[in-house]
């Protein structure tokens, strides 16, 4: 018959415990595939994100140490004071009013909380007090239900949903300072690899800054529930070389150029309610409720990143916005197929 005495169950428990603790440690120690997620907080490329990662690892180390100590004491108590074969079942002697124990479990947690508070306050202060050099890029980001508006006041550029910034060379830093405003309800600007979350609150301006040190596309998300399309209010930040960024600014600062071949679509566009919400520089369309369409086809996506920006998706969006973003505030225009084709052809020339 198998021996199931006290020594046997303790041995099995110890082995299971070692396996349980080893697996997560091995997973963290192994090489991380940073391509798994474009919003990987463990792959920062900007100074604020680096600071937040350092703080996160420090907090994780402190809490892991607490877990190991508490769990080790628990295991010791279970193994040392577990029920034995010769146990008579009587209650062991009780000890009350140990000043040393009570001081320990009061003072030590307070010290831990103070240390974590001071570390967090230091990181927050260092980020918020970041110096703004003269060559910094200034952007005003306005959150709408449910899209992003970006204004470059010093460069006279207005765009939507896709933020372009220059790379910040450590030898010649070019940070981007972003003023965060809301046109309606609370939103939250969060691109994990560039910076932490910062809320956009109606009638209250917030600020943040980033200094991305690698070119590429960085994705984010509105992190504050703002309505039915909150999950599709995506963020796309394009970090470009200084030459590419300057070229993009030059192109975006131009007025829309009318193409005679799509004049019918332009006429229909101007005659519909589209111009009440959307603006196209150089035309009578001066709406500001919806995204500026002056350089619509220079963007890779439409509907705040919900779909690729293709003529087919653009036509579908005009015909029935709910097909791409259910519950959209944008009304269908009620155009015929011929009128839809004409308007789509016109908008497809706006680059």
- Give the pLDDT band (50/70/90) at residue 24: low
Please compute the mean of the pLDDT values over residues 71-77 and round it to a whole number: 92
The answer on pLDDT for 84 being more than 60 is: yes
Q: How confident is the model over 185-211, as pLDDT tens digits?
A: 999 999 999 999 999 999 999 999 999
The answer on pLDDT for 85 being more than 50 is: yes
The answer on pLDDT for 22 being more than 80 is: no
Q: How confident is the model over 208-232, as pLDDT tens digits?
A: 999 999 999 999 999 999 998 899 8
So what's the pLDDT on residue 14? 58
* Separation of alpha carbons 347 and 283, rounded Å: 13
Spatial CA neighbour of 220 closest among 248, 194, 181 = 194
> Residue 41, SS3?
coil
CB-count exposure of residue 108 (10 Å: 0-12, 13-18, 19+) = exposed
The answer on pLDDT for 37 being more than 80 is: no
- Give the pLDDT band (50/70/90) at residue 327: confident
The encoded tokens of residue 128 equal 């918020």
How many Cβ atoms from other residues are within 10 Å of residue 182's Cβ? 23
């Amino acid at each position: 018959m198998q021996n199931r005495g006290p020594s046997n169950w303790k041995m099995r428990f110890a082995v299971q415990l070692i396996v349980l603790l080893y697996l997560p440690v091995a997973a963290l120690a192994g090489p991380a595939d940073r391509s798994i997620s474009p919003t990987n907080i463990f792959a920062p490329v900007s100074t604020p994100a680096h600071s937040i990662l350092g703080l996160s690892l420090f907090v994780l180390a402190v809490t892991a140490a607490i877990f190991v100590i508490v769990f080790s004491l628990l295991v010791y108590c279970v193994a040392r004071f577990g029920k034995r074969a010769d146990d008579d079942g009587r209650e062991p002697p009780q000890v009350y009013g140990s000043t040393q124990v009570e001081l320990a479990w009061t003072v030590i947690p307070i010290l831990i909380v103070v240390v974590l508070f001071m570390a967090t306050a230091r990181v927050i202060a260092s980020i918020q007090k970041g110096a703004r050099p003269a060559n910094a890029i200034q952007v005003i980001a306005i959150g709408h239900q449910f899209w992003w508006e970006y204004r470059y006041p010093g460069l006279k550029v207005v765009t939507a949903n896709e933020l372009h910034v220059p790379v910040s060379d450590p030898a010649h830093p070019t940070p981007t300072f972003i003023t965060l405003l809301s046109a309606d309800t609370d939103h939250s600007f969060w691109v994990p690899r560039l910076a932490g979350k910062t809320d956009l609150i109606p009638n209250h301006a917030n600020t943040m800054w980033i200094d991305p040190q690698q070119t590429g596309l960085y994705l984010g998300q509105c992190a504050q529930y703002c309505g039915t399309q909150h999950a599709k209010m995506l963020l796309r930040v394009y970090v470009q070389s200084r030459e590419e960024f300057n070229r993009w600014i030059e192109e975006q600062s131009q007025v829309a150029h009318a193409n005679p071949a799509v004049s019918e679509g332009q006429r229909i566009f101007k005659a519909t309610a589209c111009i009440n919400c959307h603006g196209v520089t150089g035309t009578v369309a001066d709406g500001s409720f919806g995204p500026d369409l002056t350089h619509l086809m220079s963007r890779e996506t439409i509907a705040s990143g919900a779909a690729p920006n293709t003529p087919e998706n653009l036509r579908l969006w005009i015909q029935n916005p709910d097909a791409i973003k259910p519950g959209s505030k944008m009304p269908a225009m009620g155009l015929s197929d011929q009128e839809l084709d004409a308007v789509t052809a016109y908008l497809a020339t706006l680059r």
